[in-house]
Amino acid sequence: MIADLAALLAPVTPEQFFADHFDKAPLHVRGDPAKFAQVLSWRQINRLLDMTHIWTGTSLKLVMDSQTIPPEQFCTRATGRDGGPVLQPDAKLVQGWIAKGASVVMNDVDSLTPGLASVSNALESAGLGKAQANVYISWQSHKAFRTHYDTHDVWAVQVEGEKDWNIWEGRAEWPIPHPAFKGQPQAHHDQARGKLRGVVKMKPGDLLYLPRGWYHDALAEAPASVHVAYGVHAPLGMDLMNILLERVLYEAEFRKPLPRQDGSAPARFALTQRAGLLGQKLAELCRDPKVMEVLAQFVAGYRFSRGGYDVLAARGIGSSGGEAGTDGAAAFRVVANGAKPVRRGADWVVKAASGTLTLTPVEAEAAAWLLARPDVTAPELARAHPAVPAEALLGRLAGAGLLVPAG
């Protein structure tokens, strides 16, 4: 799992990143395949795609040599879980397009697995903004997208295969998701991208950071390539205007009608004077401590809402492990209701279906803790009882029939 921004950037430090690259220049960080091994895998991709009810022609997209394939060509009309009609991707149709070389884009996956969420949380906890993630699956020599820029910072995490990224010198000046930017023709991008700055070969474990607006394109250079692109949307100066819009409701000057215009010079002068007065009022509001407090809270809390559930704790019954599994480790479910270690003479034992299991005093303490839970992972056990070899103890308890893999 990726614990924080430092783990995501390593060996580059956050201090180096903010000094030299954040909103300034691209950064390519080499990593070993193990670095992002828990973020996503082919097995997990198949498992996510098998969750057919969460995918539509919008959340799952296919792109063939820079052309988006209409959903009607890989989806079938179905009845959704709510009884309404939906366009649902069809496995045979999707895989038929994949066989031809179509890239697969899985949108908004940043909360779907602990591994994917760990990177989102690392970015958001660093105060960088809202982190939304898409998975891009592409095949050798088939380019999904032509040269473009994004209206958010891009953090690309390579999890499978290799991909060459062309990084151009051009950069759009802080674009936003608005038709003024989204509607620019490809001819504009091809000219505005400028000269080629360099080619970055992304391998499993590598990280690529691109500031908002930086021109790029990519092409898989292995039989198959998978990267997760985290789009980080920072709060903008325009967001202050929304806060001020709420605030000016309580200012009479902003509720007054503007001077009527009849084409005369005095009328235009009156309108200019009123606009200047309103501008001064806005400047005063921007110095208002209450407005600044609301703005500071808005910026500090600018992240997507994820997790936070602990169902048993909400009933006061105990912890159901609201964060269980976020470490990516296999979970074990406790199936021996009421089992707990007891002392017999100099030994600690716990009764199981297969017989009696003898434990050391430290193992008995750890076993009493975990057997009172609904499930547990080795990292959780290790954190709670660091003196105990967690995996070995879980293996013994599972072998005795007290635990089973949670699946």
Look at residue 367 and tell me whether its pLDDT is greater than 50: yes
* Percentage, residues of the chain above pLDDT 90: 76
For 112, 127, 238, 247, the CA distances from 301, given in Å and listed in that order, are 21, 8, 16, 19
Instruction: Identify the pLDDT of residue 325.
Output: 46
State residue 370's pLDDT score: 92
Question: What pTM value is reported for the model?
Answer: 0.79
Query: In the predicted model, is pLDDT for residue 320 greater than 80?
Result: no
Determine the distance from the C-alpha atom of residue 403 to the mean position of all C-alpha atoms in its chain, rounded to a whole number.
32
pLDDT digits (tens, 9 = 90+) for 6-47: 999 999 999 999 999 999 999 999 999 889 988 999 989 999
pLDDT band at 166 (very low <50, low <70, confident <90, very high): very high
Give per-residue pLDDT as tens, 383-392.
999 999 999 9
Residue 318 has pLDDT above 80, yes or no: no
* 8 A C-beta contact, residue 198 and residue 165: no
92-105 pLDDT, tens digit each? 999 999 999 999 99
State residue 390's pLDDT score. Answer: 93
| pLDDT given at position 244 | 96
Question: Where is 195: in which H helix or E strand?
Answer: none
In Å, how far are 132, 175, 189 from 182, measured between CA atoms? Answer: 18, 9, 11
> What per-residue confidence (pLDDT) applies to 28?
98
Q: Contact at 8 Å (CB) between 107 and 60?
A: yes
Q: What is the DSSP letter of 213?
A: T
Q: What's residue 6's pLDDT?
A: 97
Read off the pLDDT of residues 242-287 as tens digits, 9 standing for 90 and up: 999 999 999 999 999 999 999 999 999 999 999 999 999 999 999 9
Contacts 24+ apart (CB under 8 A), 244-248: 244/282, 244/285, 244/286, 244/291, 247/285, 247/288, 247/291, 248/281, 248/282, 248/285
